[in-house]
Amino acid sequence: MAIAASGAVSFSDLRTEFVGGSSAISLSDLYRGGSNILSNAGDNPSTNLAASVPTSGAIDIQDFYSTTKGFKNTVSNSTTNVDADALFGDDYDVNYPKIIDINSGVTIGGSGDDAIDIPSGLAGTLTINNAGNILGAGGAAGAAGGNGINCASSGVTINNTGLLAGGGGGGGNGGDGGAGEVNNTADWSGREPAASWTNGSASVGYYWNIGSYHVLISGGTTTIMWGSNIGSASGSPSFVRIGNNEYHRGPHRGSSKYEIYRQAKTATSAGAGGAGGVGQGYNQTNASGSNGSAGGTGAGTGGVGGAGSTYAVAGVAGSSGANGNSYSSGTGSAGNAGGAAGAAVTGTSVTMNNTGTIHGAVA
């Protein structure tokens, strides 16, 4: 508690504020720069809250009016990515009270990092008085929202009368649609007699050589040699699929023989999934995801991207892509998950006193 601004000040008041304990003290124990009241390190830009106390020479009770023990850094202009150790320089790891005041109307935002980072190595206590806005970054498509404060040290107290929020997660990208295919002109040029080809004791009808495969018609059935039966003459026209080609049983030519023709297929591109929307955060409002593209003939349309979410809420998953008519790759893919929610405070547990607004978890 600060020393009074006027009137009587007792040695007990000075001992309580600057020394502690109950031993007798004198004014010579209280020079700034001694062991009880510190001077700022050369790289410590903060305000010394006992700056009016002399470092030597004459010293008087009145030198202590309105003083308190500690260093204070006031953030009076909006900024991004504040590192608490930089606000106190080499005094960050010195056992002495430290205060960060964030003025009303000031915003500290996260831009590719936590809005405020409190790294390990803090000695003494750190109190953050937030009357402004501490905002984590909004997540990009599929990405997590950023944290308002990341704390890696103990001894931290946050007094929040303003807004402290983790960023919203970005929406997941929509899944790609399934591929499509279209028919080329049917090709009969591969039809050949195959009287010399036998399967066991039976002569086959016609065949088509396809690499190491032989599409055969024999006795009213269509087979792949060393493969399985795929249909009979009495059913609907049968075919076998090899790569991008279908080999169909054609007209009956007598003696249990059938012509074979090839129906080649041309693949068409699948529709791409839509992008997920961004999440709410520093300098960013949340947005809906975009629609997927249609793709080529017979292809499935890409899924709609998921919506980005508000402060400290996980993003919405993207929709699955629609199926296409491709024989081998016509299944649309699932949409991607939305990004995780950012936290108001993450890391080491802090003491939180809140009369303002907080969005997100507090460690």
Q: Does residue 1 belong to any structural domain of this protein?
A: no
Both tokens of 342, joined, read 């950012």
pLDDT in tens, 330-361: 999 999 999 999 999 999 999 999 999 999 99
Are 293 and 144 contained in the same domain? yes
Are 120 and 172 contained in the same domain? yes
Are 283 and 257 contained in the same domain? no
Mean pLDDT, the chain, whole residue set: 86
Q: Does residue 126 belong to any structural domain of this protein?
A: yes
Q: Which residue has the tokens 């080609």?
A: 245
Are 309 and 335 contained in the same domain? yes
Cβ atoms of 41 and 76 closer than 8 Å: no
42: containing domain: 11-64
Residue 45 is predicted with a pLDDT of 97
Are 99 and 152 contained in the same domain? yes
Q: Does residue 5 belong to any structural domain of this protein?
A: no
Domain edge (last residue) among 230, 253, 268: 268
Q: In the structure, what pLDDT confidence band is assigned to residue 83 with cuts at 50, 70 and 90?
A: very high
- Classify 276 as helix, strand or coil: coil
pLDDT in tens, 201-214: 344 444 444 444 44
Residue type, 10: S
Are 139 and 163 contained in the same domain? yes
| Interval 38-44 mean pLDDT | 97
Q: Does residue 253 belong to any structural domain of this protein?
A: yes
Asked whether the predicted pLDDT for residue 35 surpasses 90, the reply is yes
Q: Could you give the percent of the chain with pLDDT greater than 90?
A: 75
Residue 251 is predicted with a pLDDT of 56
Domain edge (last residue) among 221, 240, 268: 268
Q: Does residue 208 belong to any structural domain of this protein?
A: yes
Interatomic CA distance for residues 229 and 222, integer angstroms: 6
Interatomic CA distance for residues 241 and 111, integer angstroms: 53
Are 90 and 158 contained in the same domain? yes
pLDDT in tens, 289-321: 999 999 999 999 999 999 999 999 999 999 999
Are 96 and 34 contained in the same domain? no
Q: Does residue 51 belong to any structural domain of this protein?
A: yes
pLDDT in tens, 158-174: 999 999 999 999 999 99
Nearest to 121 by CA among 162, 87, 93: 93
- Classify 160 as helix, strand or coil: strand
Q: Does residue 252 belong to any structural domain of this protein?
A: yes
Q: In the structure, what pLDDT confidence band is assigned to residue 252 with cuts at 50, 70 and 90?
A: low
Cβ atoms of 279 and 285 closer than 8 Å: no
| Interval 80-108 mean pLDDT | 98
Are 173 and 280 contained in the same domain? yes
Which helix (H) or strand (E) segment is 130 a member of?
strand 126-130
Q: Could you give the percent of the chain with pLDDT greater than 70?
A: 80
Cβ atoms of 153 and 120 closer than 8 Å: yes
Interatomic CA distance for residues 152 and 144, integer angstroms: 20
User: Residue 194: how many CA atoms within 13 Å on its side-chain side?
Assistant: 25
Both tokens of 40, joined, read 């700022």
Are 164 and 313 contained in the same domain? yes
Residue 28 is predicted with a pLDDT of 92
| Interval 100-124 mean pLDDT | 97
Total structural domains within the chain? 3
Q: Does residue 129 belong to any structural domain of this protein?
A: yes
Residue type, 168: G
Residue 294 is predicted with a pLDDT of 96
Q: In the structure, what pLDDT confidence band is assigned to residue 114 with cuts at 50, 70 and 90?
A: very high
Are 94 and 24 contained in the same domain? no
Are 34 and 104 contained in the same domain? no
